[in-house]
Homo-oligomer: A and B are copies of this chain.
Amino acid sequence: MDAIKIFAPATIANVSCGFDVLGLCLDAVGDEMIISKTAEKGVKISKIVGQNLPLETENNVAGVAVLALLEKYGEVDCGFDIEIYKKIKPGSGIGSSAASSAGAVYGVNKLLGEPFTLSELIPFAMEGERLASGNAHADNVAPALLGGFTLVRSYDPLDVIKLHSPSELYATVIHPKIEIKTADSRAVLKDTVSLKQTVTQLGNLGGLISGLYSEDYNLIGRSLQDVIVEPLRSVLIPNFDKVKEFAKEAGALGGSISGSGPSIFALSKGKETAEKVAIAMAKAYENLDIEFDTYVSKLNPEGNKIID
């Protein structure tokens, strides 16, 4: 195999009560990438379509992720060419940089004959996140690489768990086209939380994970409550409360901020409900002078995949 075309999925990090630990993989939204072996050694980003992003390998998240992989792999008798067809908008909060870096290492690993497991690819993709945000987090690259729901149990050592995901779970995402500066989304967080809030969050995270394994959609819904981060960050997103309220009225199990925003997600049982939720979320934005996109996606159980 000398070339590969892949679908590189969007992802939701900070899933409600699972701030900094819980992520999930989408299926209906993602980039496409074509990765080819080249006679000339080195890693080249030859084309980026759809967004204005750096082509220099060392300044591109996909580039640095692949360089990290090759650094670990050792001598290789070819080079790699990467074309990126961006469909996920950077800054939307659904893992745009993670899609590129996870997709790139997935593709190069395939072309090398899969010397690394999917889990072993996570640290390489995290180097892309380090370039994008200054923080080598795994919240988005983990679900992009493993699919389904993932839990980052620990960073030291890195320990990422793929959780069981109920088959009828759908996500609806609304992306209001506003910019939230990373500095602002960090500044609103507090360094300390009350022990009481922590216990509440632990209860809900425990309930959510139990609900995922037992496929108890009602329990998943009851547990989708974030008492720590959502109250602080949601003020940066216009009509956040209204979107959530309308989504629930339309049948959503619950929802929260996707990543650090501005996108908002809701989870639903079944496609039909998820589509109604998309209409309800859009309704919450109809009187605002803000453009938005909505997406409906089933949970993607496998992450990156080869297409064509």
Interface positions of A (Cβ within 8 A of B): 17-22, 151-154, 159, 161, 163-164, 189-195, 197-207, 209-210, 213-214, 219, 222-223, 228
Contact = CB atoms under 8 A, between A and B. Distances in A.
A152 B21 contact: no
Shortest 9 CB-CB contacts between residues of A and residues of B: A153-B207, A213-B213, A153-B203, A20-B199, A192-B192, A151-B206, A209-B209, A21-B203, A198-B198
Q: Which of A151, A194, A202 has the most CB of B within 10 A?
A: A202
Give how many copies assemble into the complex.
Answer: 2
8 contacts: A18-B206, A19-B199, A153-B222, A153-B223, A154-B200, A191-B195, A192-B193, A198-B198
A228 B195 contact: yes
A10 B301 CA distance: 41
A272 to B, nearest CB: 27
A181 to B, nearest CB: 20
Given A159-B222, A207-B151, A210-B213, A20 B202 contact: yes
B198 A153 contact: no
Contacts of A219: 153, 161
Contacts of A222: 153-154, 159
A223 B205 CA distance: 14
B189 A192 contact: no
Contact of A202 (B19, B161, B214): B19
Contact of A151 (B19, B154, B203, B228): B203
Q: Which of A164, A194, A198 has the most CB of B within 10 A?
A: A198
A283 to B, nearest CB: 29
A71 to B, nearest CB: 27
A29 to B, nearest CB: 25
A199 B19 CA distance: 7
A129 to B, nearest CB: 16
Contacts of A194: 191-193
